[in-house]
Structure 1
Amino acid sequence: MYATENTPWDAIVIGSGMGGMAAAAALSHVGHKVLLLEQHHTLGGLTHSFSRNGFTWDVGVHYLSEMAPGDRARALLDWLCDTPMDFVPMGSIYDILHIGSAEPLSLSRPYESQEMDLKDRYPDETEAIEAWTKAMRSGHDAMYKIFPTRAMPEVAGDMLDWWNRSSISKWCARTTQQVIDEITDNPELAAVLSAQWGDHGGRPSKASFAMHALIAGAYLPSGAWYPVGGASAYAEHILPTITKRGGEARAGVRVDELLFDGDKVVGVRTENGTEFRAKVVISDIGARETVDSLLPENLGYEDWIAEIRTLPCSIAHFNLFLGFEGDIEAAGATRANHWFYPTGATDVVWTDAPDGSPPHMAVSFGSLKNTAHDPGPRRKHMGQAIFWADWSTVEEWSDMPGSTRGEDYKTFKQRAEDTLMGHFENCFPELAKLVVYHELATPLSTVNYTGHRKGAFYGLDVTPERVMCHALRAQTPVSGLYLAGQDVASPGIPGALWGGLLAAASVDRRVFRHFQR
């Protein structure tokens, strides 16, 4: 027996991550009554924050691009928000690379400054560095030729792809490593050029170069930014846009399946059996998760479903949440992020957990970037150390609920935490002395909180096949069903924002008018 809520919704959005919030708020702005449903007990998806022992961490926000006043993404975000969010710049230097035994290399903006950073370090590679800058600009532009097709009817999108086929083939169809190999044979410079791949989760040998150029290059024009008040500010500012226009945002509601009238999606059924009806349903839970968990068997559309299922997941990760007390800047913490590759190799992930040394670590100190953070008399600060890893490290426990994983998993997790804390201490010996709290999240945590298969932090991997995949258009072949979020556009918060806007524009073309803001 199922209970049906009688409220007639114009749209239901599944998942309250950045893509879901953006889609819901955009449709609310043009007159739609939207119901936003989130399985987790906190709204916001990977923009949510959590607290332990007086410390608060932002789960999925470490820095942001295109948030300067006047940037198009910033203008669109301002439109989505009930009250504008504030962002603070991180400064001219936003990433510091530690490649093997080489001296740390600070990356600054804009393009011209970063090109000079590289030429100062590698004076014999001037021609290669100039070629890299040119390639980055071209790859970035190629991705923006693909994005509009994600909100177009199939025929129009195919025509635009054909028109741009030369640029797409040159930059989207090749991997980051292929482009680097054409530019330089200097192994240290090659490592530097690929080091920021963790910003999109695509290993250099697998990722579309255009996606790397889009994400890594996005910080160069107007810098890196951080939300004042932390990541939770997104939900605080966007959700009222929905609720003040007759919509609702509900946490702790897991959607189990879609409802159909013939071959058209007309609503959703939740885990507890409640049914909600709507004219359209937008899924922000991931393309693969949508086809695997929400669609009934024998629905049809086998080609579309099969194309999505051929696309691999992005990388998994371990996240070490760190709580400090003391003067962390004097001990080595910075507003800029740090990328460590101790062996000098960058196309690497942690495969021999829990005891093997991780080949990579990315470190971010969110409280130094958030000007609203009050460290108090005990000078409390927060940081995160992220370690990209293979799903196989935790796969044996993946089918077990958290409460039933047993002593083997507890031992594994503790040993992994000890190993990773030791690695952090090796890289930041003085900072490690100020750590008063630490907690490890494994790839299983990502599965639990996001539902992403294999702990894929960024959804689908950013392979050339994914970048050029026609099955990832926002309007699916299933009538009444749309996709939103980073799988539609690109990984990360800005990409998910665009993915949500493209979904909303596919539902109601009036949203397109605001893309020129």
Structure 2
Amino acid sequence: MISKIPADTHVRNDSIRQGITKKRVEDFANAGPVDCIIIGSGLSGLTTAGMLSRAGWRVAVLEQHDVAGGTTHQFVEEGFEFGTGLHYTGDVLPRSTLMDALTDGKLKWAEMDAEYDHCELMGKDIDEVKDRLVFTKGFRKMRDRLHKQFPEECMCEKEAISRYYKECFKAHAAMGPIVLSKILPGFMVSLLRPLLDRWYHSAQNKTTLEVMRDCGLSDDLIGKLTFTYGDFGTTPDESPFMVQAMLTCHWFRGAFYPVGGPEQIAATMVPTLEKNGSKVWVNARVETLLLSADGAVEGVRVKGMDIPCNTVVSSVGALNTYMKLMNDKMPLPRPVQDLRHELRSAEKLKPGMSMISLFVGFEGTCESLQLPNYNTWMVSSWDHGANIKRMNEEGLDAPFAMMYYAFSSAKDPTWHVRFPNKVSCEILAPCSYALFEEFEKSRWNKRTDDYEAMKEVLTERLLDHMFERMPHLKDKLVHVSMGTPLTINHFLNSTRGEVYALDHTQERFDPKYQQMLTAKTPITGLYMTGQDVLFSGVVTAYMSGIVTVAAMSYSALLKNADVLFRATPTVWGESQVKGAKKFNIVWVLSVVFVVLAVLLVYMR
């Protein structure tokens, strides 16, 4: 729901910080059968749990951290509140009737500036036209802005811009075969495979760079249009064009931020789960899956405690699920062994980009400090692939390939009530994991002096870049702390500090590997949800929860139809869709396929 938000809507509760104990598990099990265990409490896990709970399932969600929410959680340090993963999103969640139901209508959203993303070259002396680009809400407005900003590119370039957007719309439709291939029964997917592959192949078989060059765009403009590769972590020369297309289309309706901060997502979803008879426990790192002699799921082990259950959903990614929760002594089916081999080799399926995060606090108010309600991106050049290559080769001496900074306090209308005369800023930048490998075995918060010295160097450099644009903030700085890829390993149990799970390369989206990264795994009773099932990002995490429920139980999916197959009035570009409610045609078509699949199953 998008509306004017009063300041007292901030939800505070203890349900997102309820630790696991043997007594709590026993009491929950004694109250009735545990229908499903979900590993991880990020948005994909909570969406899956929420939909199953609405369908009458009793679900236990297990979170390794001391607070639920995954990368939507927040933390407070020296009186400043910081987000850890969700910095903005498009309008899918704010306008979702399902999300409204899963949060009992308590999650609110604030819209950011219409010009929500600004990007420019690093350095002091930049040309406002040639070295800068602003992304704005509305397809037509964005297209017209590009036509106006690049007149010297001649008419063929103008046509190229329009051709690029046409290709985006066409590639965006590739989501259809991906979703259908992950929710339909195996025999039906095999039956439709030639059609699905042909539909999907047209969007997957070329990189972003190749398609945009084919459209006639210059390399300089390609670099400007793809600076948000930082939203999924793979540069245009390696990512399939459909990922760029989906990201481009995602922002046409503007950018939004959760009122009260990203933690409000879990803070509003968990009480709704509990009201429906489910539980969320933190400090509950799953040590291993429990499998029967014939390879079926029998439960999980947490802190030496076995929790029996015949249905388990993992939302912690392919690397964690297949490499850390399983071992070679288990009776694993051949497809799972093959996937483990691919993940171990890290040739085609490799960890995604690692980043450093800087959490900065200033004294003052958003108004007095003139803070913008948009995101600022900076790049060392418009050749993103070359920037990343240089970063990996030159290490600490290399310029930052890209950096992002934004003020969450300027995006949240309740901030000034909760944290008067304080503002916070989050700065992100890709980094080479090799810089931190030598410190892997050291403990969080107790690492070596060399590690701390390197953090100081990186901190100063990031702040220098920001102060070039906002020098008036320098004297207002009162707090700064840095998180590195090792911090991400500690809190998210990542392998190499990856923030977007598996790298979004062309190889990952090859049909061969997409058949491996399905919601329904070859292990009986084990399901996957999260970024590796679809793509990175908060919206696709949410959508992957829906996909997983569809793969688990068509009955549970249909019991959510009252909110799933409707959408609120929305704006696409500059056209208004009228009416209080409308059917979501994508999900209606999906359910038609599901019903047909069920009928075919019963006819066999």
How far apart are 1:326 and its partner, in Å? 2.6
**Letter paired with 1:253:** A
| 1:411 matched to 2:453 | yes
| 1:365 matched to 2:402 | no
Separation in 1, partners of 2:370, 2:191: 52
How far apart are 1:41 and its partner, in Å? 0.6
**Letter paired with 1:249:** V
Instruction: Give 2:289's match in structure 1, choosing from 229, 233, 258.
Output: 258
The match for 1:118 is 146
**Letter paired with 1:26:** M
Separation in 1, partners of 2:470, 2:260: 26
Deviations 1:374-427 (A, max 9, x none): 167963111111101222121221233225532221222222222222222234
Any conservation in 2 of the 1:202–1:463 contact (CA below 8 Å)? yes
How far apart are 1:208 and its partner, in Å? 1.4
| 1:38 matched to 2:60 | no
How far apart are 1:516 and its partner, in Å? 1.6
Deviations 1:24-48 (A, max 9, x none): 1111110100000000011110010
Deviations 1:229-272 (A, max 9, x none): 110111111111221122111000110011122211011001x2
The match for 2:528 is 483
Any conservation in 2 of the 1:458–1:491 contact (CA below 8 Å)? yes
SS of 2:227's equivalent in the other structure is helix
The match for 2:259 is 228
Identity of aligned residues (%): 28
SS of 1:96's equivalent in the other structure is strand
The 1:175–1:9 alpha-carbon spacing in structure 2 relative to 1, beyond 3 Å, is same
**Letter paired with 2:254:** G
Moved more, 231-240 or 399-408: 399-408
Any conservation in 1 of the 2:212–2:222 contact (CA below 8 Å)? yes
Any conservation in 2 of the 1:95–1:108 contact (CA below 8 Å)? yes
How far apart are 1:67 and its partner, in Å? 3.7
SS of 2:167's equivalent in the other structure is helix
The match for 1:60 is 85
How far apart are 1:141 and its partner, in Å? 1.3
Separation in 2, partners of 1:186, 1:81: 45
How far apart are 1:98 and its partner, in Å? 0.8
Any conservation in 2 of the 1:354–1:413 contact (CA below 8 Å)? no
Deviations 1:447-494 (A, max 9, x none): 111112111101011122323411111000000100011111221111
| 1:336 matched to 2:378 | no
The match for 1:316 is 354
Separation in 1, partners of 2:404, 2:395: 17
The 1:191–1:269 alpha-carbon spacing in structure 2 relative to 1, beyond 3 Å, is same
**Letter paired with 1:279:** N
Instruction: Give 2:517's match in structure 1, choosing from 440, 453, 472.
Output: 472
**Letter paired with 2:565:** Q
Report the TM-score when normalising by structure 2.
0.80
Moved more, 394-403 or 272-281: 394-403
The match for 2:320 is 289
Any conservation in 2 of the 1:99–1:192 contact (CA below 8 Å)? no
Larger of the two Rg values belongs to structure: 2
| 1:89 matched to 2:111 | yes
The match for 2:544 is 499
The 1:508–1:241 alpha-carbon spacing in structure 2 relative to 1, beyond 3 Å, is farther
Moved more, 327-336 or 486-495: 327-336
Instruction: Give 1:49's match in structure 2, choosing from 74, 86, 91.
Output: 74
Any conservation in 2 of the 1:47–1:232 contact (CA below 8 Å)? yes
**Letter paired with 1:256:** E
Separation in 2, partners of 1:375, 1:81: 23
SS of 2:68's equivalent in the other structure is coil
SS of 1:374's equivalent in the other structure is helix
Any conservation in 2 of the 1:355–1:419 contact (CA below 8 Å)? no
The 1:112–1:81 alpha-carbon spacing in structure 2 relative to 1, beyond 3 Å, is same
**Letter paired with 2:87:** H
Deviations 1:34-67 (A, max 9, x none): 0000000111100100111111011111111134
Any conservation in 1 of the 2:376–2:405 contact (CA below 8 Å)? yes
The match for 1:98 is 120
How far apart are 1:431 and its partner, in Å? 3.0
| Matched length | 510
The 1:87–1:377 alpha-carbon spacing in structure 2 relative to 1, beyond 3 Å, is closer
SS of 2:280's equivalent in the other structure is strand
How far apart are 1:185 and its partner, in Å? 5.0
Any conservation in 2 of the 1:361–1:388 contact (CA below 8 Å)? yes
SS of 2:82's equivalent in the other structure is strand
| 1:17 matched to 2:42 | yes
**Letter paired with 1:495:** T
**Letter paired with 1:51:** V
The 1:244–1:327 alpha-carbon spacing in structure 2 relative to 1, beyond 3 Å, is closer
Any conservation in 2 of the 1:180–1:193 contact (CA below 8 Å)? no
How far apart are 1:134 and its partner, in Å? 0.6
**Letter paired with 1:87:** W
Separation in 1, partners of 2:248, 2:168: 9
Q: How does 1:329-408 map to 2 (within 5 A)?
A: 333-347=371-385, 348-349=387-388, 350-351=391-392, 352-374=394-416, 379-402=421-444, 405-408=447-450
The 1:484–1:45 alpha-carbon spacing in structure 2 relative to 1, beyond 3 Å, is same
The 1:277–1:365 alpha-carbon spacing in structure 2 relative to 1, beyond 3 Å, is same
How far apart are 1:324 and its partner, in Å? 1.6
Separation in 2, partners of 1:432, 1:152: 56
The 1:377–1:265 alpha-carbon spacing in structure 2 relative to 1, beyond 3 Å, is closer
**Letter paired with 2:226:** S
Q: How does 1:95-244 map to 2 (within 5 A)?
A: 95-99=117-121, 101-103=126-128, 104-123=132-151, 124=154, 125-184=157-216, 186-220=218-252, 222-244=253-275
Unaligned regions of 5+ residues in structure 1, if any?
none
The 1:329–1:458 alpha-carbon spacing in structure 2 relative to 1, beyond 3 Å, is farther
How far apart are 1:9 and its partner, in Å? 0.9
Report the TM-score when normalising by structure 1.
0.93
**Letter paired with 2:494:** H
Separation in 2, partners of 1:158, 1:516: 26
How far apart are 1:200 and its partner, in Å? 1.2
Moved more, 375-384 or 171-180: 375-384
How far apart are 1:206 and its partner, in Å? 1.3
The 1:429–1:56 alpha-carbon spacing in structure 2 relative to 1, beyond 3 Å, is same
Separation in 1, partners of 2:121, 2:133: 8
RMSD after superposition: 2.1
The match for 2:10 is none
SS of 1:36's equivalent in the other structure is strand
The 1:443–1:405 alpha-carbon spacing in structure 2 relative to 1, beyond 3 Å, is same
Any conservation in 2 of the 1:184–1:190 contact (CA below 8 Å)? no
Separation in 2, partners of 1:450, 1:129: 39
